[in-house]
Structure 1
Amino acid sequence: MTESVFFQPVIIGTDLNTYGVARAFHMAYGSISKVFGTRKLLMVDHSKICDVTEVPNFSNDDIMVKTLKDYAVENSNKKLILFAASEQYVFRILSNYNELSKYYVIPYTEAEQGIFLSNKMNFYELCEKYELDYPKAEMIDHRNYSEHKSELSFPVVLKPAESSDYFDLKFEGKEKAYILEDADSLNKALSSIYGAGYKHNMILQEYVYGDVTNEYVMNVYSDSQGKVRLMSLGRIAIEDPDPVMRGNYVAIISTEMNEDVQMLYRKIKHFLESINYTGLSNFDFKLDASDGKFKVFEINMRQGRSSFFSTLAGANIAVPIVEDLVMRKPVESIIYGDKNFLWMNCFSGTVYKMLERTDLELFHQAKKTANKGTTLFYDKDLSLQRRWVIFRYFSLYKKSLLKNLERKQK
């Protein structure tokens, strides 16, 4: 009898992240994941590895908790592992951690630490303490934003401290993060944001020099004893060129395991183990072209939206989670994502076309990489209906990507 008989992945949310987690578990253990959400998004539509239940008003915490408790009672013979597909769902798990942890093992940090780290200024204080390089930052108080006097030199980056509420807003000129060259553009952006109804603080941060290919993303799993068990780093090859989608990756490629990368691994391991962090984490970095240092932007207390790149790299997040939370195996060695890979969220032809216009060196590296794949195209879950859904999604996304890239390069 396999381990999959004794445990069940349960995922809240129905997006790309959901399918990435479900696929990781299916590849490692043959598991079918149980998925709950308000509605079924195309990423899990017609899937044989995601058993999806649509729950009316699932955005209501009482309904979410009741749904999860009822499912747990019905499946009390299995160890249930609870995952969140988005930051919003992570915070809803943290808000109900004491109740949900009675029924589920949760591969995220506990509520108190999670809420503390979700404040980026708290995170930066810890970075200072544990010698992680980061771009200096200031908090702009929403109550008197027009009076803020910055000590940072331009250019600067402006981004919301409370991202979930911000992303629901709609207004002209909206960007996920703003790169601003002077005080006038900063004041204009703040006026637009707060004029649209945003009611939280903003973060102002020094600009880290370099283009998108200087950006990196790391997935980590720290076990229930606070020991790091998995680490995987990828280099951003393409970012969605739509300003509102900044930070959504289109392609991630492997990077050489040189001394700088090894040092980054050591620093992140030291940081997480020093604060006794447990569960999944996801870090965003940029290699500063001005001083050659990796600068960390933030920690996300979950698997990344594009976390399936780790599986391509040889570091399947499902394995250490099951070994730790289900099998209770002590850590023997860290799993590193050290295989060459190319992860894509669109057709490979679209990736090549975009890289040919933006970075010829990465274009040639991508063409030579044999180990390439997407989260959604899974050969063990490709019925004709599902194949058509994904093909249509990638076709529409291709048009959007190329259109926005052309607009950006004008």
Structure 2
Amino acid sequence: MAKADFLPVILGSDDNAYGMARAFHEQYGIKSIVVTKGHILPTMHSKIVEKKIYEQLDEPQIFIESMLNLYEELKERADKLLVVASNENYAELAIRNRDKLEPHYVLPFISEELMDQVVYKERFYEMCEEYGLDYPDTVIFKKGMDPEMDLPFDFPVVVKASDSMTFFNAQFEGKKKAYVLHDKASFVKTIQQIYSSTYEDTLIVQDYIPGNDTVMRVLNAYVDQHGKVRMMCLGRVILEDYTPILIGNYVGIIGEENQELYGQYKKFLEEIGFRGYANIDLKYDRRDGKYKIFELNIRQGRSSYFVTANGYNMAKYLVEDRVYDRPAPTEYGTNSHLWHAVPKDLLINYTMDEELKKQVIDRFEKGQASSTLYYPKDLGLIRRFKLRSFYKNYYARFEKYFKLKD
């Protein structure tokens, strides 16, 4: 068998992982290696992935050993093994072990030094200040501070962990990815709950920017090995997931063009020395007319298949850069294709902006809508049945957890 030019090695097996595997398959007809701790629905019963299961893969030593063993298994199959991380934890593991892995794998990630500035929100907002990026008014709250303290802005406020990776591993009742708190009593209770767990790092307390899901924006980008942005694609959020542990994950996005944002964030990414996939969450603040950044993720977003669906294949930029090193101009997303991760009627019913709802209906009617997991070339009978059951559960989840926002 002839040796391939490259083989994708995707860390994780969630929607993000499947979306990237689908992008590689659509562009190159290639099957991706999915490296994961176990079986979860997005990559189950799939013909476009080859799974490698390593229990406790997120433990640093096991991760290194597993990746080195996998290299021995794959080295005769392709000239280059391209690593793609589906979450922050796997990206961090790859970056912190670059010296051991890079002799064998292509690691399209930022440096460890830059990662430590970006992933800790306290340091990241200092970067925003330095580079003139708008972000919500913020208070840094440390363990031991008095939660009864006066804040420089009114309720509601948003509370989230500065170190999201450590927070991910903390276990306690009522845990959420981020909290929107409407009064002092709930603020005090939440602070006490968080610090009664294993999480001891800083918390970020921010002024709540009013507005429902539809004022959110998500920006995905790819920066090549030479530090040049090759692609930027903006999406307007239609709807978020309301399941407590999944709050903040998007389930509906429509492509949107904003050259001012593209220019601002292209300059930022290039000036800080970013590399690889970037995922940026923003919210439009109607009080001052500014788009304010929440965070910069060091890998493509969970919903990043919306970029591929809009005509900008996520895998292509990585391969053209790291496999073939072909120069290319920057591509900016201008299309308005619809991406969704919940059933069609649920998305329409829960869209909170009437003009946007008309656009959503229009895209469905014109066949300009896509869903990551429903890939026509990968819909065997069992997979189709399991996906249908999974999406059906969203009705009960939205009925239980959905709340109007302002």
Q: TM-score range by the shorter chain?
A: over 0.9
Residues 60 and 295 of structure 1, relative CA distance in 2, 3 Å threshold: same
2:339 maps to 1:343 = yes
In the alignment, what sits opposite 1:226? 227
AA paired with 2:265? I
2:215 counterpart of 1:214: yes
Distance in 1 between residues matched to 2:344 and 2:182, nearest whole Å: 35
Q: 1:322 to 1:60 in 2, by over 3 A?
A: same
Per the alignment, residue 394 of structure 1 pairs with 391
* Per-residue deviation, residues 210-263 of structure 1 (Å, max 9, x unmatched): 2211000010000011100010000110111234422011111122x3xxx211
* Equivalent AA in structure 2 for residue 108 of structure 1: F
RMSD over aligned CA atoms reads: 2.1
2:370 aligned with 1:373, yes or no?
Answer: yes
Matches within 5 A, 1:166-205: 166-205=167-206
Task: Give, in whole Å, the separation in 2 of the partners of 1:210 and 1:367.
Answer: 22
Distance 1:231 1:398, change over 3 A: same
Give distance in 2, aligned partners of 1:377 and 1:23. 10
Q: Distance in 2 between matches of 1:38 and 1:274?
A: 36
Alignment partner, residue 308 of structure 1? 305
> Residue 354 of structure 1 aligns with which residue?
350
Tell me the amino acid that sits aligned with residue 142 of structure 1: K
Taking the TM superposition and a 5 Å limit, the aligned residue runs for 1:98-177 are 98-144=99-145, 146=147, 150-177=151-178
Residue identity opposite 1:13 in structure 2: G
Closer, same or farther: CA 300–188 of 1 in aligned 2, 3 Å: same
Q: Distance in 2 between matches of 1:276 and 1:165?
A: 25
Counterpart of 1:29 in structure 2 is 28
CA deviation map 1:260-302 (0-9, x unaligned):
x211110000101111211111000001011111101110000
Deviates further, 121-130 or 382-391: 121-130
* CA displacement, residues 152-196 of structure 1 (integer Å, 9 cap, x when unaligned): 443321111122333444544433222233433322221122124
Alignment-mate amino acid for residue 210 of structure 2: Y
Rounded Cα–Cα distance in structure 2 between residues aligned with 1:279 and 1:218: 14
1: CA distance between counterparts of 2:371 and 2:42?
Answer: 12
Q: Counterpart in 1 of 2:291?
A: 294
Q: Contact 1:283–1:298 (CA<8 Å) still a contact in 2?
A: yes
How many Å separate the matches in 1 of 2:288 and 2:122? 23
| More displaced 10-residue stretch of structure 1: 69-78 or 215-224 | 69-78
Distance in 2 (CA, whole Å) between partners of 1:100 and 1:12 is 14
3-state secondary structure, aligned to 2:206: strand
Q: Quick one: distance in 2 between partners of 1:186 and 1:67? A: 42
* Structure 1 letter corresponding to 2:395: K
Q: Distance in 2 between matches of 1:103 and 1:168?
A: 29
- d(CA) in 1 for partners of 2:145, 2:133: 31
Q: Does 1:276 align with 2:273?
A: yes
**How far off its partner does 1:147 sit?**
7.4
- Which letter does structure 1 place at the counterpart of 2:64? V
Deviates more, 1:13-22 or 1:145-154: 145-154
Further displaced range: 210-219 or 173-182? 173-182
- Shift, 1:34, TM fit: 0.3
- Note if contact 2:119-2:164 (Cα within 8 Å) is conserved in structure 1: no
Look up the SS of the partner of 1:40 in the other structure.
coil
Q: Which runs of 5 or more structure 1 residues have no equivalent in the other structure?
A: none
What's the CA shift string for 1:13-44, capped at 9, x where partnerless? Answer: 11111101100111111111001111011110
Q: Which moved more, 1:197-206 or 1:151-160?
A: 151-160
Are the counterparts in 1 of residues 214 and 239 from structure 2 also a CA contact under 8 Å?
A: yes
Taking a change above 3 Å as real, the CA distance of residues 145 and 22 of structure 1, as seen in their structure-2 partners, is farther
> Aligned with 1:280: secondary structure?
strand
Letter of the 2:48 counterpart: I
Residue 64 of structure 2 corresponds to residue 53 of structure 1 = no
1:80 to 2:81 alignment = yes
Consecutive unaligned residues in structure 2, runs of 5 or more: none
Q: Is the 8 A contact 1:221 1:281 kept in 2?
A: yes
CA 1:133–1:25: 2 relative to 1, 3 Å: same
What is the alpha-carbon distance in structure 1 between the residues aligned to residue 237 and residue 30 of structure 2? 30
- Tell me the distance in 1 between the aligned counterparts of 2:50 and 2:168: 28
Residues 217 and 284, structure 1, Cα contact 8 Å, conserved in 2: yes
Q: Given residue 364 of structure 1, which amino acid in structure 2 is its aligned partner?
A: K
Moved more, 237-246 or 104-113: 237-246
Q: Is the 8 A contact 1:238 1:251 kept in 2?
A: yes
Alpha-carbon distance in structure 2 between the residues aligned to 1:181 and 1:350? 28
Secondary structure (helix, strand or coil) at the match of 2:347 reads helix
Residue type at the aligned position of 2:57: F
Matched residues, number: 400
- TM-score w.r.t. structure 2 length? 0.93
Query: Could you tell me whether the CA contact under 8 Å between 1:97 and 1:110 is conserved in 2?
Result: no
User: How much does 1:111 deviate?
Assistant: 1.6
2 CA distance for matches of 1:225 and 1:172? 45
Percent identity of the aligned residues?
38
Secondary structure (helix, strand or coil) at the match of 1:192 reads helix
What amino acid is the match of 1:278? R
SS at 1:380 equivalent: helix
